Each structure stands twice: as structure tokens, then as C-alpha cells.
Structure 1
């Protein structure tokens, strides 16, 4: 399969390659040359134990023991 480089130096990575590497918009990728001169594309290594997004980082972190009806009483105090 071939592709064309744009004037900005961009190329489209074929879908089956994106799927195989788990590449989604915003994923960082790395390029390398092997001994034969072929370009190798790799998904950048994620740091272990770190969530992939800010919402995942916050999930399960709340330590407030309020129940909804208690909060509503507090907010709607007359």
C-alpha cells in the first residue's frame, strides 16, 4: 500500500495499521529506521499506572460521603 506525503509532510496511516496499533486521534507515535532502511512506526509507550485521560485520572477519587438528598438539603436551605 502506498500513500502520498502532503506539502506539510503529513501522511494518512491506513485504518488496519491504526487498528492494529491502537492508534486514535491524539496518540503519540514514534518513527525509527531499522537496519534495512525501512521506517518502523510504533505507538509511543504509555507510562505504566498512569490513566490515559483526565476523567480516568479522577475516577474513584472522591472522598465525600454525602448522599444526594443531604447535599440538596444543604443547597436548598430556607
Structure 2
């Protein structure tokens, strides 16, 4: 039986920084989409809630869930995962 590590050491996590360089274009079977990384979740609320009203989704894919997760997990001073 094999196992998968669910937790990574802080040193490995700290080494993985996402560099924000602008929108990334991705081709999908439905056409091209543009992906952008943002730290401003509230600015996405209207668009996110419009999309979830028209598309089936689980509770974990809703804006309310994402907002609650960020309030619980992210350190307010750094917007990075706080160490528990």
C-alpha cells in the first residue's frame, strides 16, 4: 500500500511563491480563457455569484465558502497561509 503526504514542511511551502506576471491565456475545449491571479477576493464577488447562479457547483465552489476560507486560513497581515 502506498501513501501520499498531505502535509509539507514550512520550508517547502515557503519556497513556492507565485509570481504575478499578468493574465495567462489557456485553450480549452470551449475556447480560449484568460486566467489572472489576484489577492482581491471581494472584487470578484459579483462575477463569482453570477457564475455560480448559472452553473451547478458544490458548496466548496461558492464565493461564500472561498471568503470564509480566506478569513479562517490566511493571515490578515500577509495574506498568506498562517502557521497553525
The TM tier, using the shorter chain, reads under 0.3
Q: What's the TM-score, normalizing by structure 2?
A: 0.21
- Structure having the higher Rg: 1
Name whichever structure is richer in helix by fraction.
2
